[in-house]
Structure 1
Amino acid sequence: MLDIPSRVRVHVETPLAAQNDMGVCDAFEQYAPVREPDTMNAPHPPKVAGIDSTVPSPAHTVAPAPVTTGPPTVPPAPSGSSGPGALLTDRLAGWVSDLTTLHELTERLARTDTLADALQELLRAGAALVGARRGLVVLEPADRLGPDTMIGLGLGRADLGHIETVPRSALALGRILEGLPGGEGEIAEPDLFAEDGLDPRHREVAARLGYAASYAMPLEADGGGGRLGAAVWLYDEPAEPGERQRHLIGLYVRYAAEHLARLLEVERTRACMRTMTEELLPSRLPRVPGVQLAARHRTGPRGGGDWYDALPLPDAALGLAVGSVTGSGPSAVAAMGRLRASLRAYAVMEGEDPVAVLSDLELLLRLTEPARSATALFAYCEPALRKITLAGAGHCPPLLLGERRTEFVETSVSAPLGMLACWEAPSVELEAEAGETVLLYTDGLLHRTGEPVDRAFSRLHAAAAGVPRSLRHDPGAIADHVLRTLLPDGAAAQDSDEDVVLLAARFE
């Protein structure tokens, strides 16, 4: 609680000020230093915080009220008011309203968890604070490590393309991004068409898109993060934000830049994990007579240990494998790469006996990584005979899809690799008919459905049985149909930590 001597008592929520890195006393100094009572009676600028951040921006922007530079005039005190006390109360209420608005806007920004969503929220909130209707933001980190992107508010893809045709040095946005003279801070262009020396292409684009003024700000992260990009808001008529608006947007953009810097690091880490995972998996599937192959793989946001493999073996045979290593992140991805490489070696040496392959793999895992476990399934295929011999270690059973049957292959119940002192389980043999497809998958496919295991298996069976006949000749189309049916929100949904692996083999 903030005490005002003898006149008025106003409750100020300290967390609101702390949220915006500005204490209540700092707010006093920012807006109006305390002087003698007679100088505190000057009328305050129009309140920007009156803008409701939850309501869309007006259809047309309006130029802010001009700020007078002469000596302040004291309006007559309304009847029944206490003069300076009433004005002070009104001014404090305006400050608290501003802080409340910033608190709401920064909370909405903090709830975004992707760069695209954060940039859109930055544009919407900034437009409300400066009284603009449209804008765009360019993410272009100074370290040149990416990602680079451009997002518009009220601007279509074609509009952004037109803006990109303007020389960068002619745009406030470009001067900030290129570090040109005059691009160190905010850049206000209150009347573009009245400026001398306006680039002809810029004049043409502004007339085409219908904006007459702009206000640009750099996005710079503290703590050595450097420049991240720049944002610019466009006015339909000649206008520029007032002093109070500039102060509010400055506080908001400073917080937004820190949030964007954190999301940028997360996005770079995710991209690195995706690249590592893709490099450790087959870049392309082999071509083996008598069988068609297709694979679908999606990595969770933190990177996981699900993998697949397909390799030609002696005597025109084919080895198929899927597996999953416990955990997520770089360590799980590295363990997945080691496990897959080891299985390839064992498959070449003794692939005709899947039990021996998995037994050797289990022994290696127990000796080299005793704290880790994994599931795996290996199938030895003879395409000419359409014969498959497979063994699984704690893995989901394959699904056989054909014209006359859609059924799970019965495999023996066994523990995952690394769970027992000595692993061994019997293998299973099956013969596929011409035109039938075998689906191998990891449990991430079931977990992403959000259903209990038995229900997820039923949904997978129904999705495979519902593949249209026109698609059954193409294993890739079969895999895509199963994913679309089983995961309506998409296999690449960012709200799931589970990897998805689906390997389809169609026998001719």
Structure 2
Amino acid sequence: MLDISLRVRVHVETLLAAQNDMGVCDAFEQYALVGKPDAMNAPHPPKVAGIDSTVPSPAHTVAPVAAGTSPAAPPNPPAPPGAVLQDRLAGWVSDLTTLHELTERLTRTSALDAALQELLRAGAALVGARRGLVVLEPGDGLGPDTTIGLGLARADLGHIETVPRSALSYGRILDGLPGGEDGVAEPDLFAEEGLDPRHREVAARLGYAASYAVPLTPESAGSTDSAGRLGAVVWLYDEPAEPNERQHHLVGLYVRYAAEHLARLLELERTRTAMATMSDELLPARLPRVAGVQLAARHRTGPRGGGDWYDALPLPDAALGLAVGSVTGAGPSAVAAMGRLRASLRAYAVMEGEDPVAVLSDLELLLRLTEPARSATALFGYCEPAARKITLAGAGHSPPLLIGQRRTEFVETSVSAPLGMLACWEAPSVEILAEPGETVLLYTDGLLHRTGETTDRAFARLHAAAAGAPRALRRDPGALADHVLRNVLPDGLDAADGAEDVVLLAVRFE
């Protein structure tokens, strides 16, 4: 066992206790010196979680000097055996603790933007910077391309983007110019010869004097593979500075791990975008204009892509076919099944739309014959705008909501099973007679499921949101649908990439 001196042991244990109580970065902020060093080799604050560490040397005492004699200069006492090794071990333990906590924070991020922000904050703490930016520009050209700043407003990022790309450190990295594989340090921009005049002007305007940039390249892609590069991250110093060897090593380890995590989130983001695009392309590009009614639709796609759909199509005799539905499952297969089911329903609606029960019966037979392992819920209505009437049939679907100035109530529909669940589906239809200015709101079950509440409470929340809509919003079906979404799904639950698909189709009678 190493003979660690009492003073060193107490110092390390005290700081480790501080890390456990308040977190590594919080402990560093508490113990950090006030003010900014004029260079990275300026005196450092005490060791806290691997940031600019120095273990204080133990104090020594000398024997008292007899009166009348001049004291001689005491010789430097020899270092205790193993003191250097003890300091190094303490530093390594502290560095590992730092990296562990920072990577844990990064791992907890599940969205690409949040991970980029965490990367900037952690890297700034490791290299001793205050501001920075990350430029996401995947080398395969498939996107998404974005720039996110730390301590920089959108206008500041705009100023930086006016500098010629080849004059910026991250531009040299992204363009694959020589010298950018391991990072680009610019310790003193204003002392650098040949600095682009526009870069000098922007740096002076934003108040930074040095920068340090590193590439974001997953290890699986290889450091020289530009196609596998995700982007670059830059940290900015207010005064001339550059990371020392230890900081360079720590931030290099962290960025390599962050690049792998970002690569996974990037693929997830691309999948979400592709599924949302595919789902949107299978839905109506625009709603028809039919005299006597106003239409509005809202669609939110889940992260894996779901099978919720809506439709509104003109029918003979100035009628209108209205439909909402949901296919079981998620992912590409559910989206494809939704497209097939919606296309079939449109064909049946054109042929026999005045009988909604017949339309859903034909749809159920098709589903049972072609996709026996799948089920679906659906609601189809034959709307006659001139009579302000909707003849409606439902298969395992939630009832519509009728919203007016004097009433807000759910339409009573017959209890029925979803399509594909029984050997033969059939249920009676119902009629909705609306007053001028009233709106019929059709929706899918995802609106209720996203609340995370029981079915009864979710229905009550929906009813309260619709009943509390201001009078002005009731004149616009789109504004009314937005109001319902915001109130039924508050605090970001109505986000486009939520847990489940959500569809609202609002029909307002004039």
Same-fold call, TM > 0.5?
yes
Q: Which runs of 4+ in 1 moved over 6 A?
A: 75-78
The aligned counterpart of 2:190 is 193
Residue ranges of structure 1 left out of the alignment (5+ in a row): 10-50, 68-74
Equivalent positions of 1:268-283 (< 5 A) are: 268-283=270-285
The aligned counterpart of 1:240 is 242
The separation in 1 between residues aligned to 2:461 and 2:185, in whole angstroms, is 58
**Does 2:469 correspond to 1:467?**
yes
The separation in 2 between residues aligned to 1:384 and 1:485, in whole angstroms, is 32
The separation in 1 between residues aligned to 2:356 and 2:58, in whole angstroms, is 93
Match of 2:174 among 169, 173, 177: 177
Q: CA separation of 1:101/1:491 partners in 2, compared to 1, >3 Å: closer, same or farther?
A: closer
Equivalent positions of 1:372-451 (< 5 A) are: 372-451=374-453
- 1:345-380 deviation per Cα after TM superposition (whole angstroms, max 9, x unaligned): 000011000000000100111111111110000000
**Does 2:25 correspond to 1:53?**
yes
Residue 258 of structure 1: CA displacement? 0.4
Identity of aligned residues (%): 80
**Does 2:371 correspond to 1:369?**
yes
Q: CA separation of 1:116/1:61 partners in 2, compared to 1, >3 Å: closer, same or farther?
A: farther
- 1:189-234 deviation per Cα after TM superposition (whole angstroms, max 9, x unaligned): 1111111111100110110011111111011012237110001111
Q: Is the 8 A contact 2:481 2:504 kept in 1?
A: yes
The separation in 2 between residues aligned to 1:155 and 1:428, in whole angstroms, is 59
Query: The residue matched to 1:258 in structure 2 has which SS?
Result: helix
Q: Is the 8 A contact 1:61 1:133 kept in 2?
A: no
What is the letter of the counterpart of residue 475 of structure 1?
P
The separation in 2 between residues aligned to 1:58 and 1:438, in whole angstroms, is 64
Q: CA separation of 1:422/1:59 partners in 2, compared to 1, >3 Å: closer, same or farther?
A: farther
Residue 428 of structure 1: CA displacement? 0.5
Q: Is the 8 A contact 1:277 1:333 kept in 2?
A: yes
Residue 404 of structure 1: CA displacement? 1.8
Residue 431 of structure 1: CA displacement? 1.3
Q: Is the 8 A contact 2:485 2:494 kept in 1?
A: no
The separation in 2 between residues aligned to 1:390 and 1:495, in whole angstroms, is 31
The aligned counterpart of 2:73 is none
The separation in 2 between residues aligned to 1:414 and 1:77, in whole angstroms, is 82
Q: Is the 8 A contact 1:60 1:236 kept in 2?
A: no
The separation in 2 between residues aligned to 1:332 and 1:502, in whole angstroms, is 19
Equivalent positions of 1:216-255 (< 5 A) are: 216-224=213-221, 226-255=228-257
Q: Is the 8 A contact 2:309 2:338 kept in 1?
A: yes
The aligned counterpart of 1:337 is 339
The separation in 2 between residues aligned to 1:242 and 1:94, in whole angstroms, is 15
The aligned counterpart of 2:136 is 139
- How many pairs does the alignment contain? 456
The aligned counterpart of 2:311 is 309
The separation in 1 between residues aligned to 2:35 and 2:158, in whole angstroms, is 23
Equivalent positions of 1:291-310 (< 5 A) are: 291-310=293-312
Q: Is the 8 A contact 1:439 1:502 kept in 2?
A: yes
Query: The residue matched to 1:384 in structure 2 has which SS?
Result: helix
The separation in 2 between residues aligned to 1:463 and 1:184, in whole angstroms, is 55
Residue 481 of structure 1: CA displacement? 1.1
The aligned counterpart of 2:289 is 287
Q: Is the 8 A contact 2:300 2:497 kept in 1?
A: no
Residue 182 of structure 1: CA displacement? 2.2
Give the TM-score, by structure 2 length: 0.86
Q: Which moved more, 1:407-416 or 1:218-227?
A: 218-227
Q: Is the 8 A contact 1:139 1:147 kept in 2?
A: yes
The aligned counterpart of 1:24 is none
What is the letter of the counterpart of residue 489 of structure 2?
L
Q: CA separation of 1:439/1:159 partners in 2, compared to 1, >3 Å: closer, same or farther?
A: same
Give the TM-score, by structure 1 length: 0.86
The aligned counterpart of 2:18 is none
Equivalent positions of 1:102-181 (< 5 A) are: 102-181=99-178
Residue 272 of structure 1: CA displacement? 0.2
What is the letter of the counterpart of residue 371 of structure 2?
E
Superposition CA RMSD, Å: 2.1
Q: CA separation of 1:314/1:81 partners in 2, compared to 1, >3 Å: closer, same or farther?
A: farther
The separation in 2 between residues aligned to 1:58 and 1:370, in whole angstroms, is 69
The separation in 2 between residues aligned to 1:168 and 1:209, in whole angstroms, is 17
Residue 430 of structure 1: CA displacement? 2.2
Q: Is the 8 A contact 2:213 2:233 kept in 1?
A: yes
Q: CA separation of 1:408/1:492 partners in 2, compared to 1, >3 Å: closer, same or farther?
A: closer
Q: CA separation of 1:145/1:329 partners in 2, compared to 1, >3 Å: closer, same or farther?
A: same
